[in-house]
Amino acid sequence: MRSQIINLVLRGLVKRRLAACQTPADVRKVVGSLPTIAPLGVRFLSAAFGGITGEWAEAKKTSASLGTVLYLHGGGFAAMSPRAVRTITGGFALRGFRVFAPAYRLSPENRFPAALDDVTEAWRALRAEVEGPIFVAGESSGGGFAVALLLNLRDKKEQGPTAACLFSPWTDLAVTGASVENNRDRDPMESPGVLKMLAAAYAGEADLRSPLISPLYGDLVGLPPLAIFAGDTEILLDDARRLAERAQAAGVAVDLHVYPGMPHAWPLLSIVLPEGGKAMDEAASFMQAAAPRLLGDWLRMQRPLENDVTEALKKSVGA
């Protein structure tokens, strides 16, 4: 009942206004007028990594950290900020993670690849300064953006994150998924026309199907484990499903969670929507489980080396 009421409110107050947007500036006005709710028990601190400003989210009651999350906010590459996603960054902080959300450059003032360059530099600086596992996460365009970052790091032969969590990811800026039409009327927030306008503003003259713009079209071999979340009424549902299918075909470990009746990027509403909290719990558990799994793989790789060293010592003592 609560989700049905929230969907009705979103349909009446948000979708109608977004559908009327003609420019990225219009989208900024609509998104900027929406309230931001930060969870209690979290401190938010301004910071910069690699020359990219942003903010940390940390639990006020300190405890053993489960790792660090680089969180990429959504907004169609043209709107929102780290402050706008405090519900999620603060939610991860309360679940035992330290979270850095960069304020990457927005389009159309800064077209592709400006934002990707920003988050790549933030990642490099974070990787150099932070100990322990580092994860990447994002919602909407930030979710697809997170996969583009994974591809960029892999192609540059740089160390990538331990795992990634994607909420309602926008992975196909060509907007070709079947759910775009099938869920056009069911989706309580998003409209195809606005997505196409934002995609053009971000890509400029670049090919919309370039893997670093639309990671759905990329070679996904070698990516870390992915947890992907989507609502079954979203027009971007097939962006999540197709990404999961192609990642699994490429040998990537994937957990796909399709929630019934959830609006786009519903973890942003986790303070008032129980399903948002559940998705956050599942994402946190996924990341927590990914680190020991990779550690186990590393230890198995070391055993042959350890055996060789042991045998060499035995021969040395025997001699």
Inform me whether the pLDDT recorded for 87 exceeds 60: yes
Inform me whether the pLDDT recorded for 134 exceeds 50: yes
Q: What is the pLDDT of residue 63?
A: 62
Q: What is the pLDDT of residue 1?
A: 81
> One of 107, 140, 168, 270 is an active-site residue; which one?
140
Q: What is the pLDDT of residue 248?
A: 98
Mean local confidence (pLDDT), 114-128: 97
Alpha-carbon distance of 85 to 65, in angstroms, equals 21
Inform me whether the pLDDT recorded for 64 exceeds 80: no
The rounded percent of the chain whose pLDDT value lies above 90 is 85
Mean local confidence (pLDDT), 7-27: 95
Inform me whether the pLDDT recorded for 62 exceeds 90: no
Radius of gyration of the chain (CA): 20
Alpha-carbon distance of 60 to 40, in angstroms, equals 9
What is the tens place of the pLDDT at every residue in 39-57?
A: 999 999 999 999 999 999 9
> One of 73, 191, 264, 270 is an active-site residue; which one?
264
Average pLDDT of the chain is: 91
Q: Which domains does the chain have, with CATH numbers?
A: 2-318 (3.40.50.1820)
Q: For residue 76, which amino acid is it? A: G
Inform me whether the pLDDT recorded for 203 exceeds 80: yes
Dump the DSSP string for 18-75.
Answer: HHT--SHHHHHHHHHTS---PPTTEEEEEEEETTEEEEEEEESS------EEEEE--S
What is the tens place of the pLDDT at every residue in 209-265?
A: 999 999 999 999 999 999 999 999 999 999 999 999 999 999 999 999 999 999 999
- The residue that leads in pLDDT, 36 or 30, is 30
Q: Would you call 234 a catalytic residue per the annotation?
A: yes
Q: What is the pLDDT of residue 37?
A: 85
- The residue that leads in pLDDT, 303 or 282, is 282
Q: Say if CB 232 and CB 261 are below 8 A apart.
A: yes
Q: Say if CB 97 and CB 189 are below 8 A apart.
A: no
Alpha-carbon distance of 188 to 289, in angstroms, equals 33
Position 291 confidence tier, pLDDT thresholds 50, 70, 90: confident
> One of 58, 139, 190, 234 is an active-site residue; which one?
234
Q: What is the pLDDT of residue 293?
A: 56
What is the tens place of the pLDDT at every residue in 258-271?
A: 999 999 999 999 99
Residue 155, SS3 per DSSP: helix
Position 61 confidence tier, pLDDT thresholds 50, 70, 90: confident
Inform me whether the pLDDT recorded for 2 exceeds 70: yes
Inform me whether the pLDDT recorded for 295 exceeds 50: no
Alpha-carbon distance of 100 to 233, in angstroms, equals 30
Inform me whether the pLDDT recorded for 158 exceeds 80: yes
Q: What is the pLDDT of residue 107?
A: 98
Strands (E), 168-268: 226-231, 254-259
Q: Would you call 140 a catalytic residue per the annotation?
A: yes
Q: What is the pLDDT of residue 309?
A: 35
Cα–Cα distances (Å) from 287 to 95, 135, 263, 292, in that order, read: 11, 7, 23, 9
Alpha-carbon distance of 115 to 274, in angstroms, equals 32
